[in-house]
Structure 1
């Protein structure tokens, strides 16, 4: 884990301020009264968090996040991502009006990954991107690039907000319906802004949707039935009373299963504890499965009720009565959509027929619970890398269709 001294942080902040002061002066000339400044005060942070509420006021498909969650995301003392990362946030202003925001950040664990897997030495990121117009977007991206360049980065990968495990990619297809829990939504205009700043597509992330009220094909049902008869295979629900132990099993499978995937960055123990604490209220034992082969855990599938259905109407705040509504909902969620954010099979089994059999068995077990206990009618799987042949094949086999596509871009820094 990378840690930096207080003096180093102060020196870097002063460097960033000087860098952005000169950038803002040139920006003001190029873009009339548009000025880019680093987020440096409590008022700046509030403006940074609040901006999307104005920009998406007319977008019925935008789901307001809980503001407390956004503050937690961008605050180093609250987010263990910053145990191995650093970031600078920027605001765009025209006079007293906030017209855009962006983050520039460096994940030091990502720098240590093999370059052929998408990250690697010299790769910085931008994210949390919002802009009122093209001039603002270009100026913000330029500010993020300047900060990354000053930090020695030679390449930008984005948008990633903030970790690859959070909300990676720009939504380029599927703006016509709202996102599910932990998925992003953005203006369709941002694609032209990013590509106009010299960025090229490098990877697509897809989500799939399906009608879970319909049974799977006879072939899939035979595969599931065959697995159920095997003495070697056991598919079980998680035991919430052993939450930490179960989380450790899932983390072990995840890091092994995803270890060679594009964009992979290992999750630290501190991050898994943090994520576990956040997601614990959403953990329902019959929606998270672990598959064992001859007693060894080799696969898992995590499914979450779509929390956005409950939090969207709260407009970002749990007060004065939102917290009570949410607690009541969490007692036994009744939802339209279930999302599968994570699923994995250990690498040694990924090329075998057993991998898909275990996947189908877990999907079917959870599908039945989702319908009978939670009233769900729709499932969403993803995100899935566009070149993940195994997962894309499983999605096709259960007659799911791509409903959203997120694009990650790259650009060299001269």
Structure 2
């Protein structure tokens, strides 16, 4: 278990060692990773129990995992998560990590565990199982193909796939669909506006209420605390000041969408550091790369019950794609979408979008080494009336 500052340093730096020569992995900024895993910076970690585990061979770190119990754990039958998993291609190392993490969860009366989540559904989650030949988009995880075997050999069962759709904002189908969406918007008197972050508290509170209203019936839903949502909203505001659109019907907000630039394109040249030998070479590379971003990620589209049937989802996505065209982006990644969310997947396919990545969530009973009946609750399909792409 991670107990010292040196252990935590090795925990944070392990991915940089494992992926050093990998052509597609994008190194996050190390300073950002340190802040993200710091409870004083990340409000979710302040209200959660987290155990960090590090495997070594000799003195060299060769694997890591975190066991997480969120604030919703007791109310949800003591469910836990595993996340931040990284490991060399060695089942023995992975088994040692699982054993330590599951023992820690078992001692805290956790019954089932899902993952990977870093650290929950509001952040990076899922194991990449298809689409290894392309770099990850912003806030999406990347891992080698053999990780799936390490999960299944550790007794984990697949419970849900998360789809990433690739869409061209300038395609003929998208243009035709935008005209139809505009017709519906005018017919029902909908308006779509950009969030005004000069009024941060009221705008973030509005989006938070819409988020909870849209996602409360979705698989895996766990409400974000006010502090966590404010943290996420500040990050979104920093990355994409004009990326949030809000749909209104008769003056009442009924939906929202979030479109982010894929800053992984800008981060890749920095190789995880803003400074090199005291010079801000990495910061300059990020700045230069940011100006050359050519794609974005449609992070979320949520429409409340009052907005469904009025074309609110179409109007929001149309506004987001129009924003992408104005930025001369050649691609928008719509991710992630639950595999059984037909209300979201069917229109994307009709627009000519293609699934180019697939991430998978796994579950395991903490008390048993083999799949058992207590996992059936994790595998139910998405509700028929959902119109939401995660996030």
TM over 0.5: yes
1:216 Cα deviation from its structure 2 partner: 2.5
Which residue, out of 319, 325, 345, partners 1:365? 319
Within 5 Å, give how 1:62-211 maps onto structure 2: 62-112=25-75, 120-132=76-88, 133-211=90-168
Report if aligned partners of 2:50, 2:69 keep a CA contact under 8 Å in 1: yes
Within 5 Å, give how 1:33-72 maps onto structure 2: 38-72=1-35
CA separation of 1:190 and 1:328: change in aligned 2, threshold 3 A: closer
Task: Determine if the alignment matches structure 1 residue 313 to structure 2 residue 273.
Answer: no
Deviation digits for residues 349-369 of structure 1 (CA, Å, limit 9, x no counterpart)? 4xx432xx2222222222222
Report if aligned partners of 1:159, 1:168 keep a CA contact under 8 Å in 2: yes
Aligned to 1:344: 302
Kindly tell me the number of residue pairs found equivalent between the two proteins: 362
Measured in 1, the distance between the counterparts of 2:253 and 2:17 equals 47
CA separation of 1:226 and 1:305: change in aligned 2, threshold 3 A: same
Aligned to 2:181: 224
Measured in 1, the distance between the counterparts of 2:227 and 2:78 equals 25
Deviation digits for residues 194-249 of structure 1 (CA, Å, limit 9, x no counterpart)? 10111111111111111222133576245213124236211112223223322111
Aligned to 1:283: 240
Aligned to 1:335: 293
CA separation of 1:71 and 1:379: change in aligned 2, threshold 3 A: same
Report if aligned partners of 2:40, 2:46 keep a CA contact under 8 Å in 1: no
Measured in 2, the distance between the counterparts of 1:289 and 1:127 equals 31
Report if aligned partners of 1:209, 1:379 keep a CA contact under 8 Å in 2: yes
1:261 Cα deviation from its structure 2 partner: 0.7
Report if aligned partners of 2:270, 2:286 keep a CA contact under 8 Å in 1: no
Measured in 1, the distance between the counterparts of 2:197 and 2:184 equals 25
1:385 Cα deviation from its structure 2 partner: 1.2
Measured in 2, the distance between the counterparts of 1:338 and 1:280 equals 15
Report if aligned partners of 2:260, 2:297 keep a CA contact under 8 Å in 1: yes
Measured in 1, the distance between the counterparts of 2:101 and 2:37 equals 16
Q: Give ranges in structure 1 of 5+ residues lacking alignment.
A: 1-37, 113-119
Structure 1 window deviating more from structure 2 (394-403 vs 147-156): it is 394-403
Report if aligned partners of 1:334, 1:376 keep a CA contact under 8 Å in 2: no
Which residue, out of 257, 274, 278, partners 2:231? 274
CA separation of 1:367 and 1:218: change in aligned 2, threshold 3 A: closer
Aligned to 1:378: 331
Report if aligned partners of 2:266, 2:287 keep a CA contact under 8 Å in 1: no
Deviation digits for residues 85-132 of structure 1 (CA, Å, limit 9, x no counterpart)? 1101011011111111110110122442xxxxxxx2121111111111
1:265 Cα deviation from its structure 2 partner: 0.9
More helix by share: 1
Report if aligned partners of 2:270, 2:283 keep a CA contact under 8 Å in 1: no
Structure 1 window deviating more from structure 2 (140-149 vs 339-348): it is 339-348
Report if aligned partners of 2:52, 2:67 keep a CA contact under 8 Å in 1: yes
Measured in 2, the distance between the counterparts of 1:174 and 1:217 equals 24
Q: Give ranges in structure 2 of 5+ residues lacking alignment.
A: 368-391
Measured in 2, the distance between the counterparts of 1:74 and 1:104 equals 13
Q: TM-score, normalised by structure 1?
A: 0.83
1:174 Cα deviation from its structure 2 partner: 0.9
CA separation of 1:215 and 1:91: change in aligned 2, threshold 3 A: same
Measured in 1, the distance between the counterparts of 2:333 and 2:36 equals 24
Report if aligned partners of 1:302, 1:340 keep a CA contact under 8 Å in 2: yes
Query: Higher Cα Rg: structure 1 or 2?
Result: 1
Which runs of structure 1 show a deviation greater than 4 angstroms over 4 or more consecutive aligned residues?
327-330
1:64 Cα deviation from its structure 2 partner: 0.3
Report if aligned partners of 1:301, 1:340 keep a CA contact under 8 Å in 2: yes
Report if aligned partners of 2:265, 2:289 keep a CA contact under 8 Å in 1: no
Deviation digits for residues 351-396 of structure 1 (CA, Å, limit 9, x no counterpart)? x432xx2222222222222222x22100001111112222112322
